[in-house]
Structure 1
Amino acid sequence: MKNFKKISLILISIIVIIGLVGVGFVYSKLNSIYVKDEVVKNKEESKASMVDGITNILLVGTDGEYVEKGNRSDSVMLVTIDSNKKDIKISSIARDTYVDIPGYGTEKMTHAYAYEGIDLLKEVFKVNFDIDVDKYIAVNFVSFMDIMDELGGVEVNVEEKNIDSINNSIDACYEYYYNRKDEVEKEYITKAGVQRLNGYQALAFSRIRYTDSAFARDNRHREVAQSVYKEFLKKGPDEYKRCSDIILENTKTNISPMEMLNLGYTVLNINDKEIDQLQFPLEEYRNGHIISKEKGWVLEWDKEENLKAWHKFIYGEDN
């Protein structure tokens, strides 16, 4: 599993839906994933951006079995719940974004989580992006396919150029990681267009990297996340509970059960069926990739323009 190309962005999206929409059915289990912060931060002393009525939750998907640290953050998203404007937003942050990692120098953002876990990654957000993140949810990739199957699959748009790559990944996903081979036969993708994919097919779809770019891959992650969100809106208590049972074993968060319930109530009231999305760094403000023998492929970015646009997306014009 450690060498497997993961799809944690989708997993953490599922976690958010389970935690924020289905939380009322799993309250008694939330303590098993709740990690209480040792130090309560004085928000008035923080120089990073915080706005009343806006909650930013850092979502981390690790590229291995360890949720707390020791594995890189294969995927990172920031979910913004804007109670003021009744809006939900998702920002995807490229894993190769070149950032200052306190104590380790300048390198890919993905390495921060492997070094010291969530606390260091939150510090990276404060130092580089001027965003103060209190809440987080970290998850590994173990339960992705089971969740997709429980939902009855997800609808995505498969492009013609990606069919061969998806089918190549289906072999590995099905043969090595799928635990329902005695119930479900392996099926390949045979056509392009909008279609419903099951667990191992959706995982294969999400693993595509080399037919286009890392940013196109992130777009596919968000496409699946949006589809997952829509599927959950159609489901009821039984599906929430079964999905929660699957995913809670592979998750850590510092959101307490009561806070989760409050967030769930807020999200249900917002009922945002079309989630606003942003890819960071923004396409128009990227300096492109550079090659470094020490750092590998990294993504440079224009700080002033990117942060101005990102903060506007999160906090709005007034803030």
Structure 2
Amino acid sequence: MSRRKKIVITLILILVLLPAALMGFLYYKINTIKTDNQVEGITNILLLGTDGRKNESAYRSDCMMIVTIDNTHNSIKLTSLARDTYVDIPGVGMGKLNASYFWGKDQLLFKTIKNEFGIDIEKFIQVDFEGLMDVITALGGVDVEISKKEMEAVNKSVPSTYESYDNPDKGEMKLIPGDGVQTLTGYQAISYCRIRDIDSAIYRDARQRKVIMAIASKFKSMPVSSYDDLIKTLSPCVTTNIGTIELLNMAKNSYEILQKGDSIKQGEFPIIDEVHSKGGKYKKAGWVWRYDTNSVVVLKQFIFDDVDIKNNKYLNETDKIKLNG
């Protein structure tokens, strides 16, 4: 396989991790694009998963992840931001992080993240759950390891998810037959991403990351000959403000990082340990995560300095904890 085609495939993989499939145009125009400029340092992209219904003009972001392409430390990171994090939304007041998107879409969410966590993000890729189901359906399903409790919870919601899924290729409705590693259809995978009544939203964030990683793994295992048709199918599923040339630059840098064999690092914020955060109903915000404002250093050091969250020295200190709100 040519190096150029490998770069294109790597870009597709990175965007699927986000997840995205915007590369139909890029794939066919790549030979006309100059690729001299490299993306240097650290690039943060906000992945937004939304669950808006038809005819809704305002809705909350159900999934928020920061994807970091880190050329300084040769790593790629995927960091979930808990949707119930208690934050100060500029111009709105205190509330849940995912409400930022409801009040001002991606721009207000950018401002909230910058003000709260000190991370300046300008790039985003957005996919709704309907689009994500289309991605997984086009891939022929994804392999995810699930527990018996998760399997039972998913099967309760599969019928309604299947019924609302408008895709002629969705096939007959099927329940998940058991626990362990299972090949999930599009509607099964989304049902899996949505469940949280068996544990908490933090576990749901982890399940969403598992599905994203499974999508990337499936994409990587597919023959190159299938990419043309697959990209055409996936390209309508996402919205982004990233330009074509910039996407190509990200691909080249990501390609070099992944060539080194490093796995994608995963993180979550707030730090859910009942020490640096506290979950519960608070004032008029409903159920939220109040977090230790000083623990933001853990998030920033993970993204910018490549310090593993679990090994951050700050977490051994308990005399500086200051919950927000």
Normalised by the shorter chain, which TM-score bucket? 0.7 to 0.9
Q: CA deviation at 1:280?
A: 0.8
2:141 alignment partner in structure 1: 153
Matched letter for residue 253 of structure 1: T
2:221 alignment partner in structure 1: 234
1:8 alignment partner in structure 2: none
How many pairs align?
283
Secondary structure, in 3 states, of the residue corresponding to 2:115? helix
Give deviations 1:175-231, integer Å, cap 9, x for gaps. Answer: 2215236x7222212211112112122122212110111111111111111111111
Task: Assess, with a 3 A threshold, how the Cα gap between structure 1 residues 26 and 57 changes in structure 2: closer, same or farther.
Answer: farther
Secondary structure, in 3 states, of the residue corresponding to 1:75? strand
Task: Assess, with a 3 A threshold, how the Cα gap between structure 1 residues 149 and 252 changes in structure 2: closer, same or farther.
Answer: closer
Q: Does 1:260 align with 2:262?
A: no
| TM-score, scaled relative to structure 2 | 0.78
2:267 alignment partner in structure 1: 278
| Counterpart mapping for 1:108-187 below 5 A | 108-180=96-168, 184-187=171-174
State the distance in 1 between where 2:232 and 2:80 align: 26
- CA contact 1:23–1:260 (8 Å) conserved in 2: no
Matched letter for residue 145 of structure 2: N
Q: CA deviation at 1:27?
A: 5.0
Task: Assess, with a 3 A threshold, how the Cα gap between structure 1 residues 139 and 184 changes in structure 2: closer, same or farther.
Answer: closer
Q: 2:16 aligns with which of 11, 14, 34?
A: 14
Secondary structure, in 3 states, of the residue corresponding to 1:196? strand
State the distance in 2 between where 1:147 and 1:191 align: 23
- CA contact 1:73–1:113 (8 Å) conserved in 2: yes
Matched letter for residue 96 of structure 1: D
1:64 alignment partner in structure 2: 52
Overall identity of the aligned pairs, in %: 37
Q: Does 1:314 align with 2:303?
A: yes
Matched letter for residue 106 of structure 2: I
State the distance in 2 between where 1:193 and 1:215 align: 21
Please say which of residues 81-90 and 267-276 is displaced more in the overlay.
Answer: 267-276
State the distance in 2 between where 1:54 and 1:14 align: 19
Give deviations 1:61-104, integer Å, cap 9, x for gaps. Answer: 22215899722111110000011222110000010100111111
| TM-score, scaled relative to structure 1 | 0.80
1:303 alignment partner in structure 2: 293
Give deviations 1:135-177, integer Å, cap 9, x for gaps. Answer: 1112222222221122121111110112221111111122221
Matched letter for residue 245 of structure 2: M
2:320 alignment partner in structure 1: none
| Counterpart mapping for 1:239-250 below 5 A | 239-250=226-237
- CA contact 2:80–2:205 (8 Å) conserved in 1: yes
| Counterpart mapping for 1:12-51 below 5 A | 14=16, 16=18, 18=20, 24-25=26-27
Please say which of residues 266-275 and 209-218 is displaced more in the overlay.
Answer: 266-275
- CA contact 1:153–1:198 (8 Å) conserved in 2: yes
- CA contact 1:137–1:252 (8 Å) conserved in 2: yes
1:208 alignment partner in structure 2: 195
- CA contact 1:93–1:281 (8 Å) conserved in 2: yes
State the distance in 2 between where 1:270 and 1:123 align: 29
